[in-house]
Amino acid sequence: MHRLNHRCIEKFLFLTLCFGIQHLANAQDPPPLRTYRKTEITALAGASYPIAGFGGLGVVIGKETTLGGRYGYRQLKGISASVEAGPGGLTSRLGWTSLYRYDAGAEGFSFDAVYMRTWNLKWGVERNRNWLGPGISYRIGYAKISGAALVKTGPGSWRLAPSASVGIVIPLK
């Protein structure tokens, strides 16, 4: 009678496990992702410093990928632009956005180049001046929180000014 060596049994079990795990992993591949072009247009409203109350429009142009899963999440990545105006001035943003969209709004970040022109109100920032700088926005649901560190452009002394806003995002398209 031929006896099986302990080493042979270990190799056999190891190979069986390897092929079995590979088979199970292949059997549970997720469905293929769908990617298509997407344009999201939104209305914006809220309060900010130094603009005070504001209203505006925003747009994201990019590609949306259906991530599948139980809740049908979608990820939108692309170029974003927005303009917000109020009694204290105007703010415009141009940047890159990554949003996870779901039935109760979207969640994600936007990294922006921010331009601000102040007028009328004076809340610690010089009026009738242009300001430029980097900014970041965070969306959760239908709320948006934004901030920027801006530098005054043009003649005069060099100044740094913060900008912050909190508002709601209303999808139009």
DSSP state letters, 80-134? EEEEEEETTEEEEEEEEEEEEEETTEEEEEEEEEEEEEE-S--SSS-SS-EEEEE
Across 158-171, average pLDDT:
89
Write the CA distances from 106 to 29, 50, 69, 74, 103, integer angstroms.
27, 26, 16, 9, 8
Residue range 18-55, pLDDT digits in tens: 665 655 555 454 565 788 899 999 999 999 988 888 99
Q: Residue 63's pLDDT is what?
A: 94
Average pLDDT, the chain: 83
Q: Residue 1's pLDDT is what?
A: 47
Percent of the chain at pLDDT above 90?
44
Q: Residue 27's pLDDT is what?
A: 47
Distance CA 53, CA 51 (A): 6
Q: Residue 6's pLDDT is what?
A: 67
Task: At 138, list the tokens.
Answer: 């965070």
Residue corresponding to tokens 């769908």: 34
Residue range 86-126, pLDDT digits in tens: 888 899 999 999 998 887 788 999 999 999 998 877 666 78
Total-model pTM: 0.76
- Range of weakest confidence among 43-52, 68-77, 78-87, 157-166: 68-77
What ranges do the domains of the chain cover?
34-171
Provide CB contacts within 8 A for 83, sequence distance 6+.
56, 57, 58, 90, 91, 92
Tell me which amino acid residue 80 is: S
Q: What is the DSSP string of 43-58?
A: EEEEEEETTEEEEEEE
CB contact at 8 A, 158 and 152: yes
